[in-house]
Chain A
Amino acid sequence: MKPQISPLKASLKNFPLPLHRSSAPPSARSLAVLRTFPSLSPPPPKKKKKKSTLSFSNWRKTRFVTCQSGIFGQLESLRQEGFPVLQPLRRKDYSNCHLFELPIARSCALSSHFPSAMPMYQVKPYHAVNGSLCVELPTCMYRVPNIHSKNRGSAFSVGPAGHVQEEADPSLQALELRQEEILKRLYELKAAVDGLSKMIQTPDADFDMTNMIQASERILTTSAVDLDSMLGKDYGALKDIVINANPTLPPLSLLVLHSFLCEHYKILSTVHVHSSVKNVPENLLKCFGEQSKKQSRHEYQLGFTLIWKDVPKPQMKFSIQTMCPIEGEGNIARFLFSLFGQKYNAVSLTLIDSWIDMALFQLKEGSSKEKAAVLRSMNSALGRSPWLVGNELTAADIVAWCALQQSGSANSAPANVQKWMKSCENLASMNAALKFLK
């Protein structure tokens, strides 16, 4: 019962995804009896060209068990039970091995078929020709001590399972410790989240709002604008924000936010037309003006790619691996505004969010009654402060102003709103957006 480890590096290399990421170590117990290979694959079947791309997730569900033909008789009985037996492999490394394909669940069950202290005849070392034969091991798995070299004197006097546990690798122990630590932290987090959700679900729970705001302010003290920290790891290439928008409903606020962003960062802006739409108006094609693209792409801090496409609502894609697409003009506006790096407390943030939703769902798309109501509340808010939220321009002002322009009720707005609109239009970025309305 000597474990066979074979260099399958060559075949592993060809796989598009790195293997070490998803291979979980098999349990130590089943290892002692049989060596299971969760991440080794047989050479991809050479069937039709079309089907040769073996799906990664499919073969991960099976383990491949190799064992010497000495115990083949016992495995034969397994086969009668219905385990699929693959062909004996023809490669040199496998010369007297049989490959069994077992579902993960059953590979553990297999270990019970081999009584750990079963008396067997001594098997001569397989590679005994030169004594020290160097076997190239795949690096994707941890090492297991060689059973033969240590067991030669008292062969099988100790159950193999116990044997491995006794001499557990220190790195394995460290790993175990780390896992426990992580689990502990996870439990703590879970408890915290549970507590929070209880608080939210019971409205009259006594929680101190001011405490929370203070806490959030403490966290948000670092207001340095760091694109890397906001947009994820830098791979030395342009960070490209892709926005899909329908030319029949141009997302005005995003265009305004884009020109604000241009004042902050060096941005490479491009406009494309997707093949799903035709006849995009000229002013939308030139919505970023004439860009001088003298520098090469990677010298820009940020890419802004606008694609006019047949989509029901605006959609933003940034990192397709770590982020799902963001949908809706308001949500994209929130994301883009966060790139300015300004930090607000929880109350302001909530107010901004609520103004954005109000502007988009009531002012822009709502009935005339809803529009009037929003205008009234805007009027009273603008009576208290120069901008909708606090003393600074926020995403709320931008989205609300754009919605107001697009709703067509800009002229009938009350006095404070009119004053606010004037100050909005004094900003070059917003003024420039007026040309899309015609």
Chain B
Amino acid sequence: MPSASRQNQEKPREIMEAAEDYAKERYGISSMIQSQEKPDRILVRVKDLTVQKADEVVWVRARIHTSRAKGKQCFLVLRQQQFNVQALVAVGDHASKQMVKFAANINKESIVDVEGVVRKVNQKIGSCTQQDVELHVQRIYVISLAEPRLPLQLEDAVRPEVEGEEEGRATVNQDTRLDNRVIDLRTSTSQAIFRLQSGICYLFRETLIHKGFVEIQTPKIISAASEGGANVFTVSYFKSNAYLAQSPQLYKQMCICADFEKVFCIGPVFRAEDSNTHRHLTEFVGLDIEMAFNYHYHEVVDEIADTLVQIFKGLQERFQTEIQTVNKQFPCEPFKFLEPTLRLEYREALALLREAGVEMGDEEDLSTPNEKLLGRLVKEKYDTDFYILDKYPLAVRPFYTMPDPRNPKQSNSYDMFMRGEEILSGAQRIHDPQLLTERALHHGIDLEKIKAYIDSFRFGAPPHAGGGIGLERVTMLYLGLHNVRQTSMFPRDPKRLTP
């Protein structure tokens, strides 16, 4: 088939010879765009194709989502991001048989430029987002051709998971999706997930800056393990070794000691934990907050909780379409929360669990099933998916956690939960080098290794508290998804380093 160049497109329409292909300049494969020219053509967004544009001639650039030929006509679904519209190529004044055949044979997922008339339709088109109009194609040029065989079909990738896998309909499994992430990310569900995730980041920044926080950047290559406990990745650093930061905590705290008072940072966090669960990644985005307070660490807890509530509210207001889109494939109850956030104490949680028949020691940490059960119990009683658990036993928290002044077995520490899963863990930090040394010795930590950490408090440090949130987890739990890999664009886990 002849390829039509752009100059040919403007030729008068009268050149038609019935016997031959009278429309051969109206379709073809466009030459590669190497920025040769700046045409005046205005490309209309698919989402703007509405009844208001009826009977206008418009140019659209979109992907071929599906195509279906039927004798003398061919129906295409053109997709642009999460929006799509039906297009019709029919033999007539503007299109020849050959053109219809060409349109029908364009590989799925190819990018095309289409000129057409917007026509109102009588019956709503259920399968498209633009339900009231369709596009009657006059010209169609392929801009970028996709390979004929796709590693996964987009329809399969957005099909809701039905219990029992009846009908033998294909679904795409997680690994295929992640191996071909570029295509998987084109699905309306993925588009919505990552738009919402971007919204979380935006709302986090907006809320905190409004509250007077300062955004900081912390180094990710560090000389020693910052928290002492969790596993760190070792990287070779010229002649010696360095580590990838498993938390920006030390640097956040140093900023507090440097009188920034309220700081936050958004950045990658690395955890060399070999755990292959639905909610662990080896690299994730941490939303970290640290704040100096006046007299009680609840000032900080309230501030963090309010930030999250503002994020939830903002998502509810601004991202309703995205939430609906994800719900279509992964149905779940809307996220519920209370304002101000419910704050329970650890012993209350234990009481709830004991009432439900769980046997647990006072100083035992919550196991994952108990955590979930507790989430269900709290939801039952207070109807909230988001709550804070305060006053954890000192024994289960890291050495730098401030002990409770009244009860030596408790600590000034807290976790926050969404849908029964932990998203944030935080505490009042010890800002006194003396006490910090004592606690470190009690935990059997080598003082040499954390010398820099302790030393940063030697020149006067305000009382402070903070915490870190996992962005992927918040997205996952807000949308009620089941795997954190769905909300990480290019997830890293013990078994996956690519793409």
A interface residues (Cβ-Cβ under 8 A, vs B): 14, 16-18, 21, 49-50, 233, 235-238, 240, 242, 244, 270, 272-276, 296-298, 305, 307, 309, 317, 319-322
Question: Are A272's CB and B338's CB within 8 A?
Answer: yes
- The interface residues of chain A lying within 8 Å CB-to-CB of B406 are 296
Where chain B touches its partner, the secondary structure class is mixed
Min CB gap B338→A, angstroms: 4
Residues of B within 8 A of A18 (CB): 357-359
Measured between beta carbons, the chain A residues less than 8 angstroms from B336 are 274-276
Kindly identify which residue among A49, A237, A270 contacts B345, using a CB–CB cutoff of 8 Å: A237
Cross-chain contact of B382 among A233, A235, A238, A242 (Cβ < 8 A):
A242
A125-B391 Cα distance, complex, nearest whole Å = 55
Q: Which of A17, A49, A238, A305 contacts B357 (CB 8 A)?
A: A17
User: Is residue B183 within 8 Å, beta carbon to beta carbon, of the partner chain?
Assistant: no
B351 touches A237 (CB 8 A): yes
Asked if B149 is at the interface of the complex by the 8 Å CB criterion, the answer is no
Q: Are the C-beta atoms of B338 and A274 separated by less than 8 Å? A: yes
Given contacts A16-B369, A17-B358, A274-B384, 14 further A-B contacts (CB under 8 A): A17-B357, A49-B482, A236-B347, A236-B351, A240-B348, A272-B384, A273-B339, A275-B312, A275-B316, A275-B339, A298-B345, A298-B347, A298-B348, A322-B355
Q: A276 contacts which chain B residues (CB < 8 A)?
A: 336
Query: What is the CB-to-nearest-CB distance from A131 to chain B, in angstroms, rounded to a whole number?
Result: 36
**B381 CB–A CB distance under 8 Å:** yes
How close is B119's CB to chain A, nearest CB, in angstroms? Answer: 41
**Residue of chain A at shortest CB distance from B390:** A297
Residue among B336, B347, B350, B382 facing the most chain A CB atoms (10 A cut-off): B382
Minimum CB–CB distance from B172 to chain A (whole Å) comes to 14
B358 contact set on A, CB distance < 8 A:
16-18
Distance of A274 Cα from B385 Cα, bound (Å): 11
Candidates A50, A236, A242, A270; contact of B381 at CB < 8 Å: A242
User: Which partner residue on chain B sits nearest A274 by CB separation?
Assistant: B338
Q: Which residues in A have their C-beta under 8 angstroms from that of B344?
A: 297
CB-CB < 8 A to B359: which residues of A? 18
Residue of A nearest to B343 (CB): A297
Q: Tell whether, in the assembled complex, residue A317 and residue B381 are in contact, meaning their CB atoms are under 8 Å apart.
A: yes
Interface string of B378-393 (1 = CB under 8 A from A): 0011111000000100
23 contacts between A and B (CB under 8 A): A14-B369, A16-B358, A16-B370, A17-B358, A18-B357, A49-B278, A49-B482, A235-B351, A235-B355, A237-B350, A238-B348, A270-B340, A272-B339, A272-B382, A273-B338, A274-B384, A275-B312, A275-B336, A275-B339, A296-B345, A297-B344, A320-B381, A321-B355
* Distance A305 CA – B381 CA, assembled complex (angstroms): 11
CB contacts (< 8 Å) of A275 on chain B: these are 312-313, 316, 335-339
Chain B positions within 8 Å of A21 at CB level: 357
B340 near A272 with CB under 8 A, answer: yes
Closest to B384 in A: A274
Q: How far is the CB of A435 from chain B (nearest CB, A)?
A: 22
8 closest cross-chain pairs (CB), A and B: A235-B351, A237-B351, A272-B338, A237-B348, A16-B369, A273-B339, A320-B380, A321-B355
Name the residue among B338, B347, B354, B406 with the largest chain A CB count within 10 angstroms: B338
B373 at the interface (CB under 8 A from A): yes
The minimal Cβ–Cβ distance linking A337 to chain B, given in whole angstroms, is 22
Minimal Cβ-Cβ distance residue in A for B483: A49
**Given the complex, which residues of B lie within 8 Å of A233, measured CB to CB?**
355
Task: List the B side residues contacting A14 at CB < 8 Å.
Answer: 369
Most buried by B among A233, A242, A320: A320
Residues of B near A240 (CB, < 8 A) are 348, 381
**Which residues of B are in contact with A by a Cβ distance under 8 Å?**
278, 312-313, 316, 335-340, 342, 344-345, 347-348, 350-351, 354-359, 369-370, 373, 377, 380-384, 391, 406, 482-483
Residues of B within 8 A of A274 (CB): 336-338, 383-384
Residue pair A235, B338 in contact (C-beta under 8 Å): no
State whether A307 touches B357 (Cβ < 8 A): no
Bound CA–CA A309/B383 (angstroms): 10
Distance (whole angstroms) from the CB of B351 to the closest CB of chain A? 3
Please name all residues of chain A whose beta carbon is closer than 8 Å to the beta carbon of B316 when the two chains form the complex. Answer: 275
Given A21-B357, A272-B342, A307-B383, the answer on whether A50 and B482 have CB atoms closer than 8 Å is yes
Q: Is the CB of A321 within 8 A of B356?
A: yes
CB neighbours of B356 from chain A (8 A): 321
With A21-B357, A238-B348 already in contact, the answer to whether A307 and B338 are too (CB < 8 A) is: yes
In the assembled complex, the CB of A311 is this many whole angstroms from the nearest CB of chain B, namely 9
- Write out the residue numbers on chain A whose beta carbons fall within 8 Å of the beta carbon of B340: 270, 272
Q: How far is the CA of A67 from the CA of B282 in the complex (A)?
A: 46
Q: How far is the CA of A238 from the CA of B355 in the complex (A)?
A: 13
Q: Return B277 CB to nearest CB of chain A, in Å.
A: 8
Q: Separation in Å of the B225 CB from the closest CB of chain A? A: 30
Shortest CB–CB separation between residue A270 and chain B, in angstroms?
8
A145 to chain B minimum Cβ distance, whole angstroms, is 30
CA distance A242 to B387 in the complex (A): 15
Pairwise interchain contact B337-A297, C-beta atoms closer than 8 A: no
**Which A residues lie within 8 Å of B345 (CB)?**
237-238, 296-298
**B485 → chain A closest CB, angstroms:** 11
Q: Which residues of A contact B312 (CB under 8 A)?
A: 275
CB-defined contacts of A296 to chain B, threshold 8 Å: 345, 391, 406
| Chain A residue with the shortest CB-CB distance to B369 | A16
In the complex, which of the residues B337, B347, B370, B383 has the most CB atoms of chain A within 10 Å of its own CB atom?
B383
Do residues A305 and B482 form an inter-chain contact, with CB atoms below 8 A?
no
Q: Which residue of chain A has its CB nearest to the CB of B277?
A: A49
Q: Are A307 and B348 in contact (CB under 8 A)?
A: no
What residues of chain A lie closer than 8 Å to B347, measured between beta carbons? 236-237, 298
Min distance, Cβ A292 to any Cβ of chain B, angstroms: 13
Closest residue of B by beta carbon distance from A272: B338
Q: Which residues of B contact A17 (CB under 8 A)?
A: 357-358
Q: Contact check, B370 vs A305: say whether CB atoms are below 8 A apart.
A: no
CA distance A238 to B350 in the complex (A): 11
Closest residue of chain A to B348 (Cβ to Cβ) is: A237
With a CB–CB cut-off of 8 A, which chain A residues contact B339? 272-273, 275
Min CB distance, A171 to chain B, in Å?
23
Cβ–Cβ < 8 Å partners of B483 in chain A: 49
A50 to B164, CA, bound (A): 12
Question: Once bound together, how far apart are the Cα atoms of A14 and B370, in whole Å?
Answer: 10
Q: Indicate if the CB atoms of B383 and A244 lie closer than 8 Å.
A: yes
Residues of chain B with a CB closer than 8 A to A242's CB = 381-382
CB distance from B334 to the nearest CB of A (A): 8
- Note all chain B residues with C-beta closer than 8 A to A319: 355
A270 / chain B contacts, CB cutoff of 8 Å: 340
Give the docked Cα–Cα distance between A427 and B358 (Å).
45
B382 contacts A307, C-beta separation under 8 Å: yes
In the bound complex, how far is the Cα of B354 from the Cα of A305, in angstroms?
A: 21
Residues of chain A with a CB closer than 8 A to B370's CB? 16
- Among B339, B345, B354, B406, max chain A CB count under 10 A is at B339
A17–B355 alpha-carbon span in the complex (Å)? 11
How many angstroms from the CA of A319 to the CA of B351 in the assembled complex?
11
By beta carbon, the residue of chain A nearest B345 is: A297
Chain A residues whose CB sits within 8 angstroms of the CB of B377 once the complex forms: 320
Q: How far apart sit A322 and B357, CA to CA, in the bound complex (Å)? A: 12
* Given contacts A274-B338, A317-B381, A235 and B350 within 8 Å (CB-CB): yes
State the CA gap A141–B355 with chains docked (Å). Answer: 23
Which residues of the other chain, B, contact A309 by a CB distance below 8 angstroms?
383
Contacting residues, chain A, for B381 (C-beta < 8 A): 240, 242, 317, 320
B382 (CB) vs chain A CBs: closest residue: A242
Give the complex CA separation of A238 and B377 in angstroms.
15
Closest B residue to A311 by CB, please name it: B383
| B182 smallest CB distance to A (angstroms) | 25
- In Å, the complex CA distance between A49 and B482 comes to 9
Q: A394 to B358: give the CA distance in the assembly, Å.
A: 40
Chain B nearest Cβ from A333, distance in angstroms: 20
A338: shortest Cβ distance to chain B, in Å?
20
CB-defined contacts of B335 to chain A, threshold 8 Å: 275
State the Cβ distance, A422 to closest chain B Cβ, in Å.
38
Chain A residues with Cβ under 8 A from B338's Cβ?
272-275, 307
Q: Quote the shortest CB–CB distance from B208 to chain A (angstroms).
A: 21
